[in-house]
Amino acid sequence: MSVSAASIKPVNYPAKLRQVGRLLIGGAGSVKRPIIFLVLAIAISSFLSGSFFTVANMKSLLISSSFLMVITVGEAFVIMMGMIDLGVESVLAASGMLAAFFTIYQKMPAIPAVLLTLAIGALIGITVGLLVTKGRIPSFIVTLGSYWGFEGVALLINNGSYISPFSVTPTRGLGFGSMAGATLGVSRLILLSFGVVILGQILLSVTPLGAWIKSVGSNETSARVVGLNTARLKVLVFVISGVLAALAGVMMTAWSQSIYPNSGTGLSLEAIAAVILGGIPFTGGRGTVVGAAIGAVVIGIVNDLIILLGLPALWEYIFVALVLVVAGLQARGGVNVK
């Protein structure tokens, strides 16, 4: 029995390759993608520097990445709803300055000082969220304003000068410096950042709130039709972002035992790059907190490698730009920043 040439369907090789690619790296929002980036980053760094895969360097890498991981979790929730928060690094710096100011200059006990700082971070989030929802101002514009505004606040707190235990006489400790200590040989900063990531993923995957956030990011009109209070949800994610940025500021202050008004410079763009690298597209609606956190670690590896290779710090901006391009390519889906 003969088979005519017309009856043989040509194989669509590009489609087959795309199917294989999806199987290997997962679909949009899959945690497989950031894991692959992490494995590649580790492999390349280990090849380029023999000092990379040492216990001391791994510990240093995770501690230095902990601040970025924390603010990336907040940024992940914001971007998952199709918005953006450009102000996290300024909120981080201002919060660190406030926590240090409260404990060193005002002699406030550590716990009230930290809680008050986190509350101020929440208040910042509420204000930004209301401007976006009630004021109907795009999040890009509002948070760009918060970026410049709180950079000014950080400068005003101590007249543009840094704050440390030596800022007063006699010297006075921060009080919450034990946050940078260790438990069972593991830095509490690492444990705290991992705890934030785990809680964020539980919130996203297990609770109804996670489904609501993804619904708004996927289709805000449909979410509103089924009865979701989209404005309240938007305010809530900015509160989460504000509180976590404030927490990162406290963590950074505890780690360095001092804080500068320009601390955390560049972390806003790094957090956005980490989120996109972690598989959450700008259109929102899908992705994981764990993936975003892995993206933050990948960027931390890039920064660590620059130090290990003895390259000028300015190379960090070039490499982060490349990471942003790669992240954008792997998470294509259009830009819809509300």
Whether residue 13 is predicted with pLDDT greater than 50 in this model: the reply is no
How far the first Cα of the chain sits from its last, in Å, is 62
User: Residue 330: pLDDT above 80?
Assistant: no
Give the whole-angstrom CA distance, residue 175 versus residue 178.
Answer: 7
Q: At what angle do helices 208-218 and 55-80 cross, to 10 degrees?
A: 60
Q: How confident is the model at residue 8 (pLDDT cuts 50, 70, 90)?
A: low
Instruction: Round the average pLDDT of the chain to a whole number and report it.
Output: 87
Mean pLDDT score, 35-40: 92
List the Cα angle 214/275/210 in 5-degree steps. 25
CA 82 – CA 335 distance, rounded (Å): 8
> For position 18, what pLDDT does the model report?
47
How many Å apart are CA 2 and CA 288, to the nearest integer?
A: 53
The pLDDT-based confidence of 320 (bands split at 50, 70, 90) is confident
pLDDT of 242-260, one tens digit each?
Answer: 999 999 999 999 999 999 9
Which of the four pLDDT bands, split at 50, 70 and 90, describes residue 165? very high
Of 240, 264, 271, 72, give the one whose Cα is nearest residue 154. Answer: 264
- Alpha helices (runs of H) in 167-229, residue ranges in sequence order: 188-205, 208-218, 220-225
Which tokens go with 261? Answer: 């008004």
Residue 161: pLDDT band (50, 70, 90) is: very high
63, amino acid identity? I
CA 15 to chain centre: 34
Domain 35-330 fold: ABC transporter involved in vitamin B12 uptake, BtuC (1.10.3470)
The pLDDT assigned to 315 comes to 77
Domain locations in the chain? 35-330
- The pair of three-digit structure tokens given for residue 315, joined into one six-digit string: 């190379």
